[in-house]
């Protein structure tokens, strides 16, 4: 049964691709396919970190706000000290936010939902305070060039997306830490009794997630050409959708970054196809919500009956 569900997302991508190809002949053009890849770059990078978090039974609702804060910090730092310093500031914000969330969850036993919901509002408020309610533009050329660079006619952001998924796959499939992630998500008490430092794994999971938030914020800010305090709105919903639609269980212990990649592709193709088909944005939100609900129901069917 689980193998059947594993192929459903691939079949869904094929079906929606065929449908949108008929509805919009320009869908299969090279430029549009690149647009799809670029559109899911930030969401996909964030989804890699979120996959690790959800595999342990956690959640992170703050990623969009933290990405906005990191983007603003990067822009302000780049204006004073250059692009490299700006990028470093973005990663510092991402890693610090991950360490904060991880510590609160692992050592103070605050539920992930509460910690990251609080951080969502705190980070968004700090972003607006730092930016004084405006976008931080006129950034150095080498900062904005990062978001426009291409190799072999493929944008750098897409290469970073591929590298992020490759790294996530390697860690989960070929390292001891990856095995610990699945063990903690499958059964925390059993993992503890097996000698796994559950608190340490939880802390490093959120720090790793913060790294991907920092990377995504650099891609986003460089593409926008500014630090925008209201950027990343509702990104957490799209990211969680990509992870869940890909088949990773919200209860933890089951899933992979490969399935998340397919989930991100599905969401990206869906949004792009609906746009080309002239479907209004509000209707698109309804469709996305329905897809998430169907994915969660499918996950329930994968669980053994009790």
Predicted confidence (pLDDT) per residue in 38-87, tens digit: 999 999 999 999 999 999 999 999 999 999 999 999 999 999 999 999 99
pLDDT score at 1 = 47
Instruction: State the Cα–Cα distance between residues 93 and 108, nearest whole angstrom.
Output: 21
Domains observed in the chain: 32-301 (1.10.3470)
| 57-68: pLDDT as tens digits | 999 999 999 999
Look up residue 38 and give its two tokens.
């670029």
Backbone φ and ψ for 136, nearest 5 degrees, come out as -100, 100
Instruction: State the Cα–Cα distance between residues 23 and 8, nearest whole angstrom.
Output: 22
pLDDT score at 291 = 83
| 213-230: pLDDT as tens digits | 999 999 999 999 999 999
Quick one: how far is CA 45 from the chain centroid?
5
Q: How many CB atoms lie within 10 A of CB 108?
A: 8
Q: Which of 106, 4, 111, 8 is nearest to 60 (CA)?
A: 111
Radius of gyration (Cα) for the chain, nearest Å? 19
Task: Provide the pLDDT confidence category of residue 169 given band limits of 50, 70 and 90.
Answer: very high
Apex 200 CA angle, 198 and 204, nearest 5: 120
Q: Which of 165, 164, 197 is nearest to 180 (CA)?
A: 197
Cβ-in-10-Å burial (0-12, 13-18, 19+) of 190 comes to: exposed
Percent of the chain whose pLDDT exceeds 70: 95
Contact partners, residue 78, CB within 8 Å, separation at least 6: 85, 86, 87, 89, 139, 140, 143
Residue 305 has pLDDT above 60, yes or no: no
Is residue 56 within 8 Å of residue 178, measured between CB atoms? Answer: no
Whole-model pTM: value is 0.94
pLDDT score at 298 = 75
Beta bridge partners of 151: 154
Beta bridge partners of 136: 227
**Block residue for tokens 């660079």:** 149
């Amino acid at each position: 049964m689980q193998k059947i569900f594993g192929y459903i997302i691939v079949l869904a991508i094929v079906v929606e691709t065929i449908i949108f190809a008929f509805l919009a002949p320009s869908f299969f053009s090279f430029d549009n396919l690149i647009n799809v890849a670029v559109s899911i770059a930030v969401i996909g990078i964030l989804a890699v970190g979120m996959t690790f978090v959800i595999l342990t039974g956690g959640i992170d609702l703050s990623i969009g706000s933290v990405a906005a804060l990191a983007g603003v910090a990067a822009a302000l730092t780049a204006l004073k000290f250059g692009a490299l310093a700006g990028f470093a500031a973005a990663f510092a914000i991402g890693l610090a936010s991950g360490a904060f969330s991880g510590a609160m969850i692992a050592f103070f036993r605050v539920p992930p939902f509460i910690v990251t919901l609080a951080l969502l509002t705190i980070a968004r408020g700090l972003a607006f305070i730092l930016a004084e309610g405006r976008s931080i533009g006129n950034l150095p050329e080498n900062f904005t060039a990062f978001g426009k660079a291409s190799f072999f006619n493929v944008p750098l952001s897409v290469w970073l997306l591929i590298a992020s998924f490759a790294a996530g796959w390697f860690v989960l499939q070929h390292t001891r830490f990856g095995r610990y992630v699945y063990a903690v998500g499958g059964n925390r008490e059993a993992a503890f009794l097996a000698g796994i430092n559950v608190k340490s794994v939880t802390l490093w999971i959120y720090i790793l997630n913060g790294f991907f938030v920092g990377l995504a914020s650099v891609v986003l800010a460089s593409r926008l050409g500014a630090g925008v305090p209201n950027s990343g709105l509702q990104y957490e919903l799209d990211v969680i959708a990509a992870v869940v639609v890909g088949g990773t269980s919200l209860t933890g212990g089951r899933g992979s970054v490969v399935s998340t990649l397919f989930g991100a592709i599905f969401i990206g193709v869906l949004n792009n196809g609906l746009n080309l088909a002239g479907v209004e944005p509000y209707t698109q939100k309804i469709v996305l919500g329905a897809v998430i609900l169907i994915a969660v129901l499918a996950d329930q069917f994968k669980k053994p009956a009790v």
